[in-house]
């Protein structure tokens, strides 16, 4: 079978359940290893890694079967097989009386740019045809994001650290340490003034501290990680005469090492600090 015919057959298989309207077993991702939040409908992960998933299987009754998966990459409406079937688990017993929760580990292939990869899961009994039980679609990101971020934050060789960290939080400092980014310790309180050309990262837990930082932020390139009950979780920016204040209200750093979107967001924030100049064009859009 040639490659184009294989792609067509695989694509047809992915559409089969929807076309027939038949009730299919339910496969659901409950959690991603290393991430605390409930996964998105299409979870995002790093390529060139092995990632753990807690999944739930319902509507299947089988004893002593093996669980297999086959990865496919989607592009232009087509599905391309990425390799042979992978044996995830042997001797599995499932009951359709209650949903079954199991832990699996998937090998995520390396990608050079963001890609959608689908793992089609099947159960196989001896001398029997595979029975599809569902799919896990992932948004896969290149594994080198942390290198890009560290390069933006390191500054010039033999110069004073570009980054100054302050505040009572406990997440910014470990993130920078993991990235091997040198930083100057600014203490738990707010700096009395902000030096031009430095990047300030503050992690605050009180509204009045944020207001004080805002009052002193003219001319600063400042990122404040601080929850705010009056704002939806997100990233907000404000101009000052010669700098920018970025207020992060989302839990961006909670699972930073395993979260590609969090790393991309921080790359955008640091890029904005690096390139920002006052202009009449309005607020930066993150």
Residue-wise pLDDT tens digits, 12-66:
334 344 444 444 558 999 999 988 667 888 899 999 999 999 999 998 888 899 9
Angle 94-55-64 (CA atoms, 0-180°, nearest 5)? Answer: 25
The last residue of a domain, from among 91, 119, 141: 141
Whether 39 is in a domain gets the answer yes
Expressed as residue numbers, the domain containing 60 is 3-141
pLDDT in tens, 242-264: 789 999 999 999 989 889 999 99
pLDDT in tens, 78-96: 788 888 888 999 999 988 8
Q: Are residues 241 and 270 in the same domain?
A: yes
Residue 255 · residue 229 · CB < 8 Å = no
Kindly tell me if the per-residue pLDDT of 116 is higher than 90. yes
User: Percent of the chain scored above 70 by pLDDT?
Assistant: 86
Place of tokens 């207020």: 247
Whether 260 is in a domain gets the answer yes
Q: pTM value?
A: 0.75
Task: State how many domains the chain has.
Answer: 2
Q: Are residues 80 and 187 in the same domain?
A: no
By mean pLDDT, which of 4-13, 58-67, 130-139, 164-173 is the weakest? 4-13
Whether 285 is in a domain gets the answer no
Q: Are residues 76 and 108 in the same domain?
A: yes
Task: Note the pLDDT of residue 25.
Answer: 58
Q: Are residues 132 and 15 in the same domain?
A: yes
User: Percent of the chain scored above 90 by pLDDT?
Assistant: 43
Closest CA to 164 of 126, 216, 115, 200: 200
Mean pLDDT of 257-278: 84
The last residue of a domain, from among 141, 165, 199: 141
Q: Are residues 61 and 104 in the same domain?
A: yes
Q: Are residues 39 and 134 in the same domain?
A: yes
Whether 19 is in a domain gets the answer yes
Whether 114 is in a domain gets the answer yes
For residue 50, the cross-strand partners are 107
Q: Are residues 168 and 260 in the same domain?
A: yes
Q: Are residues 128 and 156 in the same domain?
A: no
Q: Are residues 17 and 115 in the same domain?
A: yes
pLDDT in tens, 236-245: 998 776 789 9
Q: Are residues 183 and 127 in the same domain?
A: no
Residue 184 · residue 162 · CB < 8 Å = no
The last residue of a domain, from among 89, 124, 141: 141
């Amino acid at each position: 079978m040639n490659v184009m015919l294989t792609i067509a057959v695989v694509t047809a298989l992915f559409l089969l359940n929807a076309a027939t309207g038949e009730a299919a077993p339910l496969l659901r991702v409950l959690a991603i290893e290393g991430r605390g939040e409930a996964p998105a409908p299409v979870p995002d992960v790093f390529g060139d890694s092995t990632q753990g998933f807690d999944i739930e299987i319902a509507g299947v009754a089988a004893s002593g079967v093996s669980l297999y998966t086959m990865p496919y990459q989607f592009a232009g409406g087509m599905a391309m097989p990425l390799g042979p079937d992978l044996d995830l688990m042997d001797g599995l017993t499932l009951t359709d009386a209650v949903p079954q929760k199991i832990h699996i580990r998937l090998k995520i292939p390396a990608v050079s740019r963001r890609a959608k990869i689908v793992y089609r899961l099947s159960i196989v009994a001896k001398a029997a045809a595979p029975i599809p039980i569902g799919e896990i679609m992932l948004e896969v990101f290149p594994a080198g994001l942390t290198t890009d971020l560290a390069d933006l934050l390191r500054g010039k060789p033999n110069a004073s650290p570009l980054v100054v960290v302050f505040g009572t939080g406990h997440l910014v400092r470990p993130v920078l340490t993991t990235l091997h980014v040198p930083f100057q310790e600014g203490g738990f309180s707010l700096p009395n003034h902000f030096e031009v050309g430095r990047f300030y990262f503050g992690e605050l837990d009180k509204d009045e501290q944020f207001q004080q930082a805002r009052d002193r932020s003219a001319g600063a390139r400042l990122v404040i990680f601080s929850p705010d009950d009056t704002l939806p979780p997100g990233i907000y920016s404000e101009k000052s005469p010669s700098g920018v204040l970025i207020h992060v209200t989302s839990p961006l750093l909670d699972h930073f090492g395993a979260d590609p979107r969090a790393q991309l967001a921080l790359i955008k924030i640091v890029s904005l600090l690096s390139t920002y100049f006052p202009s009449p064009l309005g607020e930066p859009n993150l």
